[in-house]
Amino acid sequence: MSRRPGPLVTSTALALSAGLAGTLLTAAPASAASIATWDKMAQCEASGDWSLNKGGLYYGGLQFLTSTWLAYGGGAYAPRADLATKKEQILTAEKLLADRGPSAWPHCGPLTNLGADHADPYPDPVPPVSRITGLAAGTVVTGTTTLTADVTDAVGTPVRATFYVDGAAVGTVNGSGPAYSLALDTTALSDGAHTVTVRAVNDAGQTGPLSGGVSFLTANRSTTARTTGDFNGDGKDDIAVLYDNGRNADGLYQTGLWTYLSTGSGFANPVKAWDSVGSGFGSWNWDRSKVT
């Protein structure tokens, strides 16, 4: 490999830069570069070896003079660049780049188009965003069913997702996602309407917001009948579910009707539209019940 000059900053310039924060120097516009561009720089400067130490004046993947490394804060990480991590070298190089521009690397800076990349190599992490992908809204379930969710994180990586039913945690799934699934035993739930939500945690320890809820119905101890139709006149197909809630302690048979109104992209939370006992009809014979 031919010798590539590292950051071109003299000791005099370094003293001025450290003492006057660029006031007496003609500073280049503040800049930044993505990790991909810094990798190209390291390939050009040091054949991609972030620990390069050939016993000369320049060290590390970006070939820092030790005086330059210390002047731009690298000493907080290590006494020389080759002893620091890749991230620590890039963070120090970002300060040099912001102060001196890509000309600080007179050969590899222009060669890798360093001045044209303004991305933040290590942006601040943001909380992950979750959404339920299954169950579908309005589903009537019995026994064990599968809850599924997708998690996205613009910067970090999700590490786990927790599912909730009616606000209570029902299980946590570990892994980097983006898809998560959990088996749910619905026999532990009361028959009727429930809402499932999910939230995730990323590798920075940030907990994301609770997702939007998806409503479903369980029918483990009762019989159901179901139909669809436009119940509110908005031109969208809604869902109605009729429940046989069985016999009460007073001997009356109870039936309830729940509706899910369509939102166009899903369904609103279920609403109890009618109940045989509560409405005054009294005992209701399920064998003669139907939804139309």
Which residues have a Cβ under 8 Å from the Cβ of 73 and sit 6 or more positions away?
A: 92, 95
At residue 28, does pLDDT exceed 60? no
Together in a domain, 205 and 233: no
pLDDT at 5: 54
Together in a domain, 43 and 60: yes
Residue 213 lies in a domain: yes
Q: What is the pLDDT of residues 154-173, one digit of tens each?
A: 888 999 999 999 999 999 99
At residue 113, does pLDDT exceed 70? yes
Least confident of 193-197, 198-202, 212-216, 236-240: 236-240
- Tell me if 242 sits within 8 A of 289, measured CB to CB: yes
Residue 1 lies in a domain: no
Mean local confidence (pLDDT), 114-127? 87
Q: What is the pLDDT of residues 66-97, one digit of tens each?
A: 999 999 999 999 999 999 999 999 999 999 99
At residue 151, does pLDDT exceed 90? yes
Together in a domain, 112 and 16: yes
pLDDT at 198: 98
pTM of the predicted model as reported, rounded to 2 decimal places: 0.57
Q: What are the φ and ψ backbone dihedral angles of 16, each rounded to 5 degrees?
A: -65, -45
Least confident of 17-26, 72-81, 210-219: 17-26
Q: What is the pLDDT of residues 42-52, one digit of tens each?
A: 999 999 999 99
At residue 17, does pLDDT exceed 50? no
At residue 65, does pLDDT exceed 90? yes
Mean local confidence (pLDDT), 207-215? 94
Domain that residue 187 falls in: 125-218
Domain count, the chain: 3
At residue 289, does pLDDT exceed 70? no
Residue 79 lies in a domain: yes
Strand 214-218 to 140-141 pairing: parallel
Together in a domain, 208 and 248: no
One-letter amino acid at 255 equals T
Which of 67, 93, 116 represents a domain boundary (last residue)? 116
Which residues have a Cβ under 8 Å from the Cβ of 271 and sit 6 or more positions away?
A: 258, 259, 260, 261
pLDDT at 288: 60
Q: Which two tokens stand for residue 216?
A: 């479903």
Together in a domain, 165 and 257: no
Together in a domain, 61 and 31: yes
Q: What is the pLDDT of residues 230-281, one digit of tens each?
A: 999 999 888 888 887 777 788 877 888 888 888 887 777 788 888 887 777 7
